[in-house]
Chain A
């Protein structure tokens, strides 16, 4: 069965005693902190199925080897980013524990190191995205910057079959309330212009006005949109 995690020991369940002697042994102070035992009742048995319906189909295969966390790009940045643990919580239906990490789960960079190495084909990257989407859908988190970016991308493809990267950047900054006049962005544009032939500036300008387009796109966007709507309704009501 699954490995227990240190962080299941909450700060509020740690007990230190200023002065306590049990059977003649002095156990007061911090060095031998006691932990109040607990019984978990707030688990949801069907939670694993919920995450499967959001795209984490293979989550049930996990045998908790920890290869995903061990290889994870984000874990190296922040040890609280722990795919193995989140898969464990998902399987046990411990939603409250999972929600404690709601502000970082969306940060998965999709580098696929976990999916590459997983011996059980759990595809942990899919599970991370599924958990993040479930949280947004349930209103546990607001729409994350990542989702705003994804939607901006899909909106453009839906309309024209292609994206224009300048437009993606500008709209994303607008949607997330960021200024386009950030020091580093201005510096980047300066360096970009340094050697740039004038004809290329003209070309980029034309590209931004006459957006790249797939001429045969026709009703493809509409058909795909209808499909996604139908699938999401069938899965989550």
Chain B
């Protein structure tokens, strides 16, 4: 079984803590193996590229080089869409532009950092779980089916766009689709949930301007929350800490500033998966979510 270097990134170290805890708990319970990416740096999220695009490329190449040159790993696994996107983008750019590769290697030498040489790939947690276990593998570990829970799977922007930087997607049977991603649907479906047909699965939550243009973000998040409720969902499953915090935050902001209340719960897909595997909600950080789903899960007999 392949071992991966786990890159949690800054969000999972801070506000996305429940995602980090539930990821670790689920990975352990599934007997998969990962090792922390040693002394990683921030990927620059969506912000740093606006200061200069090379900064974003360099920050990601440094992380990839730590995995391959210092740890001897050929795969980095990131559960955060922002980190995942930036690593994939660096991978793509450095494979297609010799100039960019030269600049990155030159900067690394100047900074006494490990030098990126390629030979290392990035996968999202969703992709890793599908690759290692698939739906059948997950099904065999389910102790408490989540039957009767209606879920809208929300993938956001950075997991699939722009499709050019994800050459392994859209390769037919078994691969992820950039147009209509389904890996989270597949995994949670295996855990027993009822996936609703959610049209805004890859719509934008305004995460890049979640604070700097808060009214726009609140509108975009409200679109998602209301569309999910209209689709019959009780829960929105997330696979990105920025989307997750944005949804939680602007759900409250919509209520307090605009007087529009929505009831759909916002839960990390790893928390749902963990509950179905019989792990305790505390271990999965369900208590730490701002969107309070404890009573809901009790009502459904899950906890």
CB atoms of A73 and B256 under 8 A apart: no
Q: Can you list 17 A-B contacts with CB-CB less than 8 angstroms, sorted by A residue number?
A: A73-B206, A111-B161, A115-B164, A144-B212, A146-B208, A149-B212, A153-B48, A154-B48, A165-B14, A166-B14, A188-B252, A194-B292, A196-B287, A200-B288, A212-B13, A220-B113, A223-B110
A153 to B257 CA separation, bound complex (whole angstroms): 27
Taking a contact as CB atoms under 8 Å apart, the answer to whether B54 and A157 are in contact is no
Contact with A along B214-230 (1 / 0, CB 8 A): 00100110000000000
Is A80 engaged at the interface, CB distance under 8 Å to the other chain?
no
In this assembly, does A77 line the interface, its C-beta being within 8 Å of a C-beta of chain B? Answer: yes
> Which segment, of A2-10, A25-33, A83-91, A224-232, faces chain B?
A224-232
Q: How many residues of A contact B (CB 8 A)?
A: 66
- Name the A residues within 8 Å of B249 (CB-CB): 184, 188
Query: With A150-B50, A219-B111 as given contacts, are A161 and B256 in contact (CB-CB < 8 Å)?
Result: no
Residues of A within 8 A of B216 (CB): 74, 77, 107, 109
Tell me how far the C-beta of A188 lies from the nearest C-beta in chain B, rounded to whole angstroms. 5
The verdict on A169 contacting B51 (CB below 8 Å), with A115-B161, A116-B163, A224-B58 known, is: no
If A112-B157, A149-B209 are given as contacts, then 20 extra A-B residue pairs at C-beta distance below 8 Å, sorted by A number, are A73-B206, A109-B206, A110-B157, A111-B157, A112-B158, A112-B162, A123-B162, A146-B213, A149-B47, A149-B212, A166-B14, A166-B15, A169-B211, A173-B211, A184-B257, A188-B252, A200-B17, A214-B42, A224-B111, A227-B52
A187 in contact (CB, < 8 A): yes
The answer to the question of B40 belonging to the interface, with a C-beta cut-off of 8 Å to chain A, is: yes
Contact of A12 with B by CB under 8 A: no
Name the residue on B nearest A189 (C-beta).
B290
Shortest CB-to-CB span from B63 to chain A, Å, is 10
Q: Does A191 contact B (CB under 8 A)?
A: yes
B157 touches A220 (CB 8 A): no
| Contact (Cβ within 8 A) B45 A153 | yes
* A-side contacts of B213, CB under 8 Å: 107, 109, 145-146
- Which B residues lie within 8 Å of A150 (CB)? 47-48, 50-51
Smallest CB gap from A191: residue in B: B290
Query: Any chain A CB within 8 A of the CB of B44?
Result: yes
List B36-93 residues whose CB lies under 8 Å from chain A.
39-42, 44-55, 58-59, 62
Give every chain A residue within 8 A of B144 (Cβ-Cβ). Answer: none
Cα separation A224 to B162 with both chains bound (whole Å): 26
Complex CA–CA separation, A196 to B282 (angstroms): 10
Interface contact A107-B209, CB-CB below 8 Å: yes
| Residues of chain B within 8 A of A214, CB atoms compared | 39-42
The 3 A-B residue pairs with the shortest CB-CB distance, nearest first, are A111-B204, A145-B212, A195-B287
Q: Which chain B residue shows the least CB distance to A74?
A: B216
Which A residues are within 8 Å of any B CB, using their own CB? 55, 73-74, 77, 107, 109-113, 115-116, 121, 123, 126, 129, 133, 144-151, 153-154, 156-157, 161-166, 169, 172-173, 176, 183-184, 187-188, 191-192, 194-197, 200, 207, 212, 214-220, 222-224, 227-228, 231-232
Report the minimum CB–CB distance from B83 to chain A (whole Å): 12
Give the chain A neighbours of B255 by CB distance below 8 A.
Answer: 184, 187
When C-beta atoms are compared, the residue in chain A nearest to B158 turns out to be: A112
Chain A residues with CB under 8 Å of B14's CB are 164-166, 207, 212
Q: Decide if B253 is an interface residue (CB 8 Å cutoff).
A: yes
The CA of A133 and the CA of B50, in the complex, are separated in Å by 8
A101 CA / B13 CA spacing, docked (Å): 39
Q: Which of B1-48 contact A (CB under 8 A)?
A: 10-11, 13-15, 17, 39-42, 44-48
Distance to closest chain B CB from A119 (angstroms) = 12
Assess whether A146 is in contact with B48, with CB atoms less than 8 Å apart: no
A217–B54 Cα gap in the complex (Å)? 17
**With contacts A169-B211, A188-B252, A188-B290 known, is A154 near B51, CB below 8 A?**
yes
| Chain A residues with CB under 8 A of B10 | 162-165, 212
| Chain A residues near B95 (CB-CB < 8 A) | none
CA distance A62 to B15 in the complex (A): 40
Report the minimum CB–CB distance from A54 to chain B (whole Å).
11
Is there contact, CB below 8 Å, between A157 and B110?
no
Given known A-B contacts A166-B14, A197-B282, A129 and B42 have beta carbons under 8 A apart: no
Chain B positions within 8 Å of A157 at CB level: 41-42, 44, 48, 59
Of B113, B211, B249, the most chain A CB neighbours within 10 A belong to: B211
- Min CB distance B268 to A, Å, is 15
Interchain nearest-CB distance for A106 vs B (Å): 8
Interface residue? B112 (CB, 8 A): yes
Report if B294 contacts A (CB, 8 A).
yes
Q: Given A149-B211, A157-B44, A195-B287, decide whether A215 and B39 contact each other with a Cβ distance below 8 A.
A: yes
Q: What's the nearest-Cβ distance from chain B to residue A150, in Å?
A: 4
Residue on B nearest A208 in the bound complex, by CB: B14
- How far does the Cβ of A184 sit from chain B's closest Cβ, in whole Å? 4
Please indicate the chain A residues that have their CB under 8 angstroms from the CB of B15 in the complex.
165-166
B111 near A192 with CB under 8 A, answer no
Residues of B within 8 A of A223 (CB): 107, 110-111
